[in-house]
A and B are shown apart, each in its own frame.
Chain A
Amino acid sequence: MSSLLRTEGLTKRFAGLIANEAINFELDTSSIRCVIGPNGAGKTTFISMISGHLQPNEGRIYYKDQDITKLNVVKRARIGIARKFQTPTVFDELTVYDNIELAVLGTDCPYNDRNKNINEVLELVHLTNESDKPVKFLSHGQRQWLEIGLLLAVKAELLLLDEPTAGMTVEETESTARLIKNLTQEFQLSMIIIEHDINFIRDLNAPVTVLHLGRVLMEGSFEQVSANEKVREIYLGHGNS
């Protein structure tokens, strides 16, 4: 019962289409879980139910042993569950600094510590030099980091990252993997990461949950999952990887 997040029989149907069916999931504090699966497997639906953007038809969600199934997005964000969307959702017209500041304003951080906190986050996500730039001038990869920075700035404990490396170069992807590992180890953060980039998942070296047609196909280490015949068949493709 010491898990950070637990779901029991989580089910979501859209007008007859079953997006998620009876998903039982458990995540420990300060750990990473990658969620993979082909398009339409229900990965984003799953994350949306945890963030509160979607209400499940059946099942329950427990966060720190509290039933949060009925809490809305705002309340879940307030207890530490924050989400990075599939398309970077940041404040395009504002500067990088102002973006992070907005997130810090959502915490009880006293006025005098704001600047320090903002700069710490900028440092973590490698955006110190871009601090005064309007976000619309950032590269796609930097926007992804900025959004992760927003989640750090609100002091989230469970980060839901929907395709955090989409649009990143190989170097940026590697750097993101290092950042994520560092965050879980140093700040005891936990992450659920939806990804397609196999190299990134290998770099993270974290347990993987495979979704297929809305159900959990299997869970295991990257090696176990990538060696599994069924997974290779539906997701990785025959003899590939």
Chain B
Amino acid sequence: MRKYLLLLLLFTCCAFNSAHAADASALFQSLRSKVLSVQDYTADVKMNINVSYMRIPQLNGTLYYKAPDKMRLERHGGLSILPKKNINLTLSNLIPGGNVTVIDMGNALIGAKTVRVLKVIPDDEKSDIILTKIWVDETDLVALRTETTTRNDGTVTMDLEYGRYTNSCLPDKVTIFMNLKDYKLPKGVTMDYNDQPQPPKSTDKKNQKGTIKITYLKYSINTGLTDKFFAAPEKQ
């Protein structure tokens, strides 16, 4: 009798886990479908780059995006600075495509909100993304945080805040946390003015944290941007 009870318990556990995994997988697929429903957008943005060795004022401009990975920041005659292409700023690029294994990591809190944490591992071994952790708000079906470990560019964490465009899974504010290498040029080349106050230096000289905050002011979604637009030559 005891044997049967144990077997029943084991079977129930397996069934529960399997249902949970299927549930997590379905949640991830729903989220991915929602994210991928936006094929392109144009957005007026304000960008703040906060990197220890970079002193850049707030950049105002227009951000153009086309799925899956095309992005361009236009600053009406000014310079645009974006992280390297393989660390793209869009959610769609940080969520793995193709076949994936989704692991349910349970619930967590972001602020006062209870969210579901999913661990997503791409089945494709050649994928640039090794692992993504997604904090999903099940009520609005949006990702509030992602932590993506890439093959070449370390770990990129992204915090997202939603407002007017929650239905399209487009954030109002994004904060990207990334690991950056140190920057150094010989003083003999730059001939620095030595009397300047030195900003406090990071203790870890090789790898420093940087944040990029993007505030999206206004979106125009699915306007039919062409690939040609992103290939337009720019003067350097």
- Tell whether A and B belong to one assembly: no
